[in-house]
Structures are given as structure tokens and as C-alpha cells.
A and B are shown apart, each in its own frame.
Chain A
Amino acid sequence: NAGVTQTPKFQVLKTGQSMTLQCAQDMNHEYMSWYRQDPGMGLRLIHYSVGAGITDQGEVPNGYNVSRSTTEDFPLRLLSAAPSQTSVYFCASSLGLAGSDTQYFGPGTRLTVL
């Protein structure tokens, strides 16, 4: 059982480039979310989805786009990368809502924007 997988593990981008961070889960979880982790800031919610076809913004959505065409996949798109988006990105999933259920985290993607 793979759980939550994220690719790539590491990525370096130049300012203005776009890219997609991949996230997949094989637990048939309805709820998925993306967080960014910055030193001293904890985890901040970027976007989340309560099921296929339904997404919503979290605390820090600017500069990011998501879609949820299947239950399994929840990609995060950076439209035009900026140095402020240098961070570690975590995808998480849960059977129920994140506010009341255990979240399962992927191993993270470390992104550097030059």
C-alpha cells in the first residue's frame, strides 16, 4: 500500500517558469489538501478538495492552481514561479474532513525558485 505519493522530491525552477507538483493516493480518500512548510511558519494550507470536481482555497492560495478530476490525483500547479514560493510542499489525504479525521501525508517536494 503506497499511501500518499508525491513527485518530484526535489525541483529547482527559474523565476517565471511553471510546473506541476504531482500527488496521488491509493486509499480512496475523498479529502485531499496541499500545504507549504516554511521555517518557523508551520504548515499553511494552500488548496484543498472534498472530492472529485470540488476544490477550494486555503490560507495561501495566490500563485497556485489545483484541479481534482479523479479521487486519486490532486496536482498543484505553479503558474509563474516566484522566489517567495521556495518551500517544502506536502500533500495530504483523509477519509473524512481534515478538521476531524486523521490526515496522511506524502513525503514532500522541496522546491527552490531562483
Chain B
Amino acid sequence: AQSVTQPDIHITVSEGASLELRCNYSYGATPYLFWYVQSPGQGLQLLLKYFSGDTLVQGIKGFEAEFKRSQSSFNLRKPSVHWSDAAEYFCAVGRGSQGNLIFGKGTKLSVKP
């Protein structure tokens, strides 16, 4: 069965520091991979997605993620974090034609001034 693991429940970084949020997935075929962000009290918004092609994908708000098939990972990165990036981040894997999305349990990001 497919699954998504986000090993870090909570991460705190200083404003201006770099960020990497980890995501590992389990799926037999090439997955559809997503990162969503949830600001406090809000719904989820898509940051970026990977289907095929270039393994480094760019998203909104200066985020990027790299698909590494050999490591079954899809880590999210940002070179310089802003206070407004404080939110919860969810990695998700989809099975394309199977229809459904499986979410990880999320990583909460706090940003220190």
C-alpha cells in the first residue's frame, strides 16, 4: 500500500535561514507527488507538484522540491525563510488514475525572528 512519511513533526528555523522539509513515500510505480501548505486557520494550498520530467520542480513562494527515485524522497526546500512561511506543510502522493491522494501527517514550521 502507498504511504507517505514526514519524519519531522515540528521544525523551528531562524528567519533568513535555509529550510529543508523531508518527505518519503512508498509506492510501486512512479508517483504523483505534491506539497501543500496550510496557514493557521486556513485550508490547504498547493505549493508544487511533480508528475514526470525534470526532478527539480519550482513552486510558489520561492519553494522547490527534488524528486529522488533512488531514495523514495521528495524533499521541500527554500533558500531563505520568511516569517510568513510559518505554517504546516503536507506532502502527498497520488496514484494518478486511481483517483485518491494520501497525505503525510504534516510538518509544522515555526520561524524565529
Contact = CB atoms under 8 A, between A and B. Distances in A.
B9 A99 contact: no
Contacts of A100: 32, 51, 94, 96-97
Contacts of B51: 100
Interface in A50-91: 50, 58, 90
A97 B97 contact: yes
A43 B97 contact: no
Contacts of A103: 36, 44, 46, 101
Interface stretch (B14-22, B61-69, B72-80, B103-111): B103-111
Instruction: Give the interface size class of chain B.
Output: 20 to 34
B43 A90 contact: yes
Given A45-B101, A58-B100, A98 B106 contact: no
Nearest to A99: B94
Given A42-B104, A48-B99, A108 B43 contact: yes
A41 B88 CA distance: 12
B96 A41 contact: no
A41 B100 contact: no
Nearest to B101: A98
Interface in A14-67: 31, 33, 35, 40-45, 48, 50, 58
A34 B25 CA distance: 22
- Of B9, B42, B43, B94, the most chain A CB neighbours within 10 A belong to B43
A107 B96 contact: no
Most buried by A among B42, B99, B104, B106: B99
A98 B99 CA distance: 5
A5 to B, nearest CB: 11
Interface of A: 4, 31, 33, 35, 40-45, 48, 50, 58, 90, 92, 97-100, 102-103, 105-108
